Amino acid sequence: MLSTKRTSTTTQDQDGAAKAAPPGPPPSRVRRPSRWLAWGFLAPVTIYLAAFYAYPLYRNVELSLREYTVRSFVQGGAPFAGLDNYRTVLSDPAFGPTLWHTLIFTGASLVFQFSIGMALALFFHQHFPLSRTLRALILVPWLLPLIVSASTWSWLLNSDSGLVNAALGAVGIDPVNWLTSPGWSLTSVIIANIWIGIPFNLVVLYSGLQGIPVEMYEASALDGASSWQRFWRITFPLLRPVSTITLLLGLIYTLKVFDIVWIMTRGGPTGSSATLATWSYRLGFGNMLPEFGPGAAIGNLLIVMALIAGLIYIRIERRQHLR
Amino acid sequence: MTTSTPRAWWKTGIGLVLTGLMLFPVYWMINVSFTRDQDMRANPPHLFPINGTLDGYRAVLDQQLPYLGTSFLVGLGTVVLTVALAAPAGYALAKLRPPGGPALSFVLLIAQMIPGIIMAMGFYAIYLTLGVLNTLPGLILADTTLAVPFGVLIFTAFMSGIPDELIQAAVVDGASRLRTFWSVVLPVSRNSIVTVSLFAFLWSWSDFIFASTLAGGGDHQPITLGIYHYIGNNNQQWNAIMATAVVASIPAAVLLILAQRYVSMGVTAGAVKD
């Protein structure tokens, strides 16, 4: 894996430099050209980050703290509203259900993406004829534009002419209004999202499996371990670091998911599949009269959730490197 | 390791079935793209496009070419800008290791976690003031935010692997740092440039949220909006919708066929980053 490779080269370099340099001044000062030169190479990306990440984020926070109308959005001069927008959002009767949908959507997607991805990774790790080609083909759902996947699933799940209902009908089950009934819409978008996420989990877990030394398995085979035991005693514990990172990244990505839900159901019917991301979009762009303030407030709540997950991820990554 | 024993081929059989199941929706998209309007609501649906039609693809040619052109231009612009920003940064972080470098890497990592909807809203507010809504450069700039942090990451990881001796040799020969970067580091980093370019193109090609918020009302609309308008207009011509979807999937398919190695590299490097 790249990360481990990278750290090892880094330490090697530092060791080499430390040995070569005389004692006294820190070795990096001797070998490195001036820091200004290095920052010359970093300047474009730094300016870029400030202009195209930090500033939009700042604008977003500002949006959430002022009371904007369409007029003041264009001309400026919106009055400062403090935390009013946040209060509006939190006391909205839709807030509870929407937060709940977001959690269900994220949780269910992660559980199924990960377990199916893991099963497929284990299967493809057995190296049979064509396994490479087939593994590459399974990547297709992950590479397709989300609007393509979402519209394909919309048609598959169409109430009257969708293939899924036709298949259910063939075994005597009544048609389900997948996308148009409040009871099923969330399930439908979760199904589509699981399908999209499986390849990512497969690829990352597969690369993790390749990092497990073959000798471990050979030794356990000599000891007469069953394949079930081998999975729980060897594969699963050794794969824990990779699994943790896969799940956390999955969490960060899934919290962000917007396209799939918006294209398939627009969060409907009657908000039954709305998540925080689609709600924020609906408030800002989905209505005739945009409500940027509350929309931005929801966006900022979402970013706090993503950042918490992100910080946990970085902590775990660091700890694994220190080991 | 791979042996062609009957047992191994039996596994290939299972593998084919699993892959078939995973790819079935993709097959269905292609199937529907060839289905005639009058067969669209057949019950049971036709599993194969017998009596297939090219009407859907004719509609793509008639209506979607401008969208495809826009997407292509935006994709190219995104690739150029992403590589131009990310490659020097990767080089500095990997080889020059300036003070503050780790902090910048950390910021890049966090930047990747910001939900697109938040970026879109911020960009909208800024673009409205600057008057660059519905322009190609505006959309390109926004789309690069999808790929720049990933690009810096890939370049840093890859350029760390370049032997220091190679760079030192160039410096000893009297090449400036800029020249070393241009004539030594960049040529040996070809693989990472390809990887970053492929993903930058694919992500900007697939982008929907920036397109719908920043370019939704203008003349420069990408293909994702072309499909979205089709669905939104309550269009019942599903063969045309699916034909557009098939055409919009071509870059992904080309990428997978031509550059499978780079794809896996990108996926794992993007995931297992530090």
In this predicted complex, what is the ipTM? 0.86
Give the Cβ contact number of residue A211 at 10 Å: 13
Identify all chain A residues contacting B82, using CB atoms and an 8 Å cutoff. Answer: none
Chain A contact set for B274 (CB, 8 A): 3, 6-7, 317, 321
According to DSSP, the residues that pair with A66 across neighbouring strands are A80
Helix (H) or strand (E) holding A90: helix A84-91
Chain B residue closest in CA terms to A253: B113
Residue B37 lies in a domain: no
Tell me what pLDDT residue A194 has.
Answer: 96
Q: Using the beta-carbon criterion (under 8 Å), do A195 and B25 form an inter-chain contact?
A: yes
Domains, in order of start, for chain A: 95-273 (1.10.3720.10)
Which residues of chain A fall below pLDDT 70? 1-35, 321-323
CB-based contact B159:B192 (threshold 8 Å)? yes
Give chain B positions within 8 Å (CB) of A297.
none
Q: Is B36 on the interface with A (CB under 8 A)?
A: no
pLDDT of residue B235: 65
For residue B249, give the amino acid letter.
S
B-chain residue closest to A163, CA distance: B45
Contact B44 A170 (CB under 8 A): yes
Mutation target to probe the A interface, by most A beta carbons within 10 A, among B43, B118, B231, B260 is B118
Chain A partners within 8 Å of B158 (Cβ) = 2
The C-alpha torsion from A61 through A64 and A66 to A67, rounded to 10°, is 160
pLDDT band at residue B206 under the 50/70/90 scheme: very high
Name the residue among B93, B224, B256 with its Cβ closest to that of A143. Answer: B256
Whether B34 is in a domain gets the answer: no
pLDDT tens per residue, range B108-129: 888 888 888 888 888 988 898 8
Which DSSP symbol is given to A22?
Answer: P
The DSSP 8-state label assigned to residue B219 in this structure reads S
- The size of the A-B interface in CB pairs under 8 A is 320
CB B71 within 8 A of CB B79: no
In the predicted model, is pLDDT for residue B269 greater than 70? no
Distance from CA of A117 to the nearest CA of B (A): 11
Distance from CA of B212 to the nearest CA of A (A): 9
Nearest by CB: A28 against B88, B97, B241: B97
| B74 within some domain | yes
Contact A42 B101 (CB under 8 A): yes
pLDDT (0 to 100) of residue B268: 67
Chain A residues in contact with B89 (beta carbon < 8 A): 41-42, 44-45
Domain-embedded: residue B15:
no
How far is the C-alpha of A43 from the C-alpha of A39, rounded, in Å?
A: 6
- Compute the nearest-CA separation of A93 from chain B (Å): 22
* Mean pLDDT on B150-173: 87
In this predicted structure, the answer to whether residue B191 has a pLDDT above a threshold of 60 is: yes
What's the domain count of chain B?
Answer: 1
CATH of the domain at B193: 1.10.3720.10
Q: Which residue has the higher pLDDT, A75 or B39?
A: B39
CB atoms < 10 A from the CB of A311, how many?
12
Q: How far is A233 from chain B (nearest CA, A)?
A: 24
The answer to whether residue B122 is domain-embedded is yes
Q: One-letter amino acid identity for A89? A: V
Query: How far is Cα A120 from Cα A112, in angstroms, rounded to an integer?
Result: 12
Phi-psi region of B174 (alpha: psi -120 to 50; beta: other; left: phi over 0): left
Scan residues 66-95 of B and list those with Cβ closer than 8 Å to A: 84-86, 88-89, 91-93
Can you list the alpha helix ranges (DSSP code H) found in chain B?
6-33, 55-63, 65-91, 101-111, 116-130, 136-160, 164-172, 177-180, 186-188, 190-206, 209-214, 223-232, 238-258, 260-271
Which residues in chain A touch residue B242, judged by CB atoms under 8 angstroms apart?
A: 151-152, 155
Q: Is B190 on the interface with A (CB under 8 A)?
A: no
- A307 contacts on B by Cβ (under 8 Å): 110, 113
Contacts of A149 in chain B (CB under 8 A): 25
Residue A59 half-sphere exposure toward CB, CA atoms < 13 A: 23
Tokens of B129: 């003031």
Given a contact cutoff of 8 angstroms between Cβ atoms, the answer to whether B268 and A207 are in contact is yes
Dump pLDDT digits (tens) for B59-115.
Answer: 888 888 999 999 999 999 999 999 999 999 999 998 888 888 888 888 888 888 888
Q: In which domain, by residue range, is B136 found?
A: 63-271
Q: What percent of chain B has pLDDT over 90?
A: 34
Mean pLDDT of B140-157: 90
The encoded tokens of residue B228 equal 């979205």
Of residues B1, B16, B43, nearest to A127 (C-beta): B1
Say if B44 falls within a structural domain.
no
* Mean pLDDT, rounded, for B239-250: 91
Q: Which residues of A touch B145 (CB under 8 A)?
A: 52-53
Residue B226 lies in a domain: yes
In a domain, B105, yes or no: yes
B235 touching A, CB under 8 A? Answer: no
